[in-house]
């Protein structure tokens, strides 16, 4: 990949990621978004530092970032994190410490380029279905709430994200579920933006790990994105999901760092 091609890939990954979180926040009851020059801030009433994020999107400095973040999150006393781009924000990351922030997490930004992987058959006895109605939405919310509880996310907070059908189905959004014996066991969502298929909220019930269900629903979302014309597929990987995505053909193009305010 040439330097211009890599720069375009990273720019599209960044843009898709921001669009995913903005759409996710706006679909959450009480969600609020502030899109400002160089910084997009998302907030939900019961969000955590993993869902209330101030995402750096362009040039800004640490004192200005801190002032804008506190003005947005402070009145509601909302916890939040600041997300930076490893490929674009090295100087800002160095300055954030002096402005009262410390790094807590480094998340892989991964891409699946055309021809990099091929979906295997679904596991035996599993049906992959798109979410189309409120019953499917409720199934999705239950699966993902339990899956993300393993990372410390309160189940009530995760469920809140999927209280509306618009959070899982829409013109640019489509959730999928894996069912075994009539029971939802895994889910994933496709978010189309900027000609890229973004994959989010991938999760499997803890007692169903290791059976290929998460991979199967992720491939369903990827396939639908390609059907809609996605140039490639993009996601931000959890520590548990990263090995699976590598086996599927994803490669790590960058990392995103999370920072917390210490003062």
Q: CB-side exposure of 233: number of CA atoms within 13 Å?
A: 28
| Residue pLDDT, tens place only, 79-93 | 999 999 999 999 999
| Residue pLDDT, tens place only, 48-72 | 898 899 999 999 999 999 999 999 9
**According to the model, what pLDDT value does residue 263 have?**
60
| Residue pLDDT, tens place only, 5-52 | 999 999 999 999 999 999 999 988 899 999 999 999 999 988 889 889
Could you give all domains of the chain from N- to C-terminal order, each with its CATH number?
3-108+255-261 (3.40.630), 126-254 (3.40.630.30)
Count the Cβ atoms, other than its own, within 10 Å of residue 240: 15
Q: How far is CA 147 from CA 54, 133, 158, 159, 217, in A?
A: 24, 21, 10, 11, 14
| Residue pLDDT, tens place only, 204-260 | 999 999 999 999 999 999 999 999 999 999 999 988 889 999 999 999 999 999 999
What is residue 146's three-state secondary structure? helix
Question: Mean pLDDT for the chain?
Answer: 94
* Burial tier of 171 (Cβ tally within 10 Å: 0-12, 13-18, 19+): exposed
**According to the model, what pLDDT value does residue 241 have?**
86
């Amino acid at each position: 990949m040439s330097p211009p091609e890599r720069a375009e890939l990273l720019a599209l990954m960044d843009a898709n990621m921001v669009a995913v979180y903005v759409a996710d926040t706006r679909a959450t009851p009480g969600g609020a978004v502030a899109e400002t020059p160089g910084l997009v801030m998302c907030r939900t009433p019961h969000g955590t530092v993993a869902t209330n994020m101030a995402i750096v999107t362009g040039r800004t400095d640490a004192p200005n970032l801190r002032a804008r973040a506190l003005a947005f999150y402070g009145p509601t006393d909302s916890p939040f994190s600041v997300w930076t781009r490893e490929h674009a924000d090295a100087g800002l990351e160095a300055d954030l410490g002096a402005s009262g922030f410390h790094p807590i997490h480094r998340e892989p930004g991964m891409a699946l380029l055309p021809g990099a992987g091929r979906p295997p058959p679904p596991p035996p006895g599993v049906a992959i279905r798109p979410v189309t109605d409120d019953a499917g939405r409720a199934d999705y919310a239950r699966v993902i709430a339990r899956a993300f509880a393993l990372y410390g996310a309160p189940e009530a907070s995760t469920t809140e994200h999927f209280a509306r059908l618009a959070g899982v189905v829409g013109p640019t959004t489509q959730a999928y579920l894996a069912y075994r014996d009539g029971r939802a066991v895994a889910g994933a969502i496709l978010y189309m933006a900027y000609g890229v298929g973004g994959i989010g909220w991938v999760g499997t019930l803890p007692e169903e790990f290791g059976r290929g269900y998460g991979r199967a629903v992720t491939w369903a979302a990827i396939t639908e994105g390609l059907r809609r014309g996605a140039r490639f597929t993009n996601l931000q990987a959890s520590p548990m999901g990263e090995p699976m995505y590598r086996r599927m053909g994803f490669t790590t193009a960058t990392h995103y760092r999370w920072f917390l305010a210490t003062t």
